A and B are shown apart, each in its own frame.
Chain A
Amino acid sequence: GENVGLHLPTLSVQEGDNSIINCAYSNSASDYFIWYKQESGKGPQFIIDIRSNMDKRQGQRVTVLLNKTVKHLSLQIAATQPGDSAVYFCAEGGAYNFNKFYFGSGTKLNVKP
């Protein structure tokens, strides 16, 4: 299967700081990427997505960067808040694969007040 992994399994940041969560993917044919947030006892919640024809996309307090050359994806969270504490997953997919996504192993984000 595809290899979608994260560099840091746990990330601790101070409230108000910016957070960066990284993800590597292995299939150069993948053209659609999604970041999810999962809180305890809940299903993954969509944060932001990006297609391969873009290298940056911004949402509310979040930015996703895509570097196709090195097959790397990152999620930046500005002014991290305690409510951002959760596990974050990247997911890799493509139009060729319908809705079969490969998920990374997840990074736990701890926000210290």
Chain B
Amino acid sequence: KAGVTQTPRYLIKTRGQQVTLSCSPISGHRSVSWYQQTPGQGLQFLFEYFSETQRNKGNFPGRFSGRQFSNSRSEMNVSTLELGDSALYLCASSWDTTKNSPLHFGNGTRLTVT
């Protein structure tokens, strides 16, 4: 079974631009979560989607948004990029959200904002 796929692997953007990251979950997984990883803050939860609905959201500004499609694929968007948005963005999928099941992570998209 293929793992979680994230594209692109690397991105370099300029302050003020916007960016869209893509995630394909493991086949059969309906929950997709996004996390931001930085050396200073570690892994921080952005949001979680299930059946195209955002069910949980972390403490990030409204510039960070996401969506999920009917095939469970997900995208996240960051608008008006700031230097502090430079991070590794990780997508994770899981099978069962009612009793918690492990998150399976992709290898992330490394975003650099200059």
Contact = CB atoms under 8 A, between A and B. Distances in A.
Interface of A: 1, 31-32, 34, 36, 41-46, 49, 51, 89, 91, 93-95, 97-106
- Chain B: interface secondary structure? strand
Contacts of A49: 102
Contacts, number: 66
A101 B102 CA distance: 10
B42 A43 contact: no
30 contacts: A31-B100, A32-B100, A34-B102, A34-B103, A36-B105, A43-B90, A43-B92, A43-B105, A43-B107, A44-B90, A44-B103, A45-B105, A49-B102, A51-B100, A89-B42, A95-B99, A98-B31, A98-B48, A98-B56, A98-B97, A99-B31, A99-B33, A99-B92, A99-B94, A99-B103, A100-B33, A100-B56, A103-B44, A104-B42, A106-B42
A105 B42 contact: yes
A99 B43 contact: no
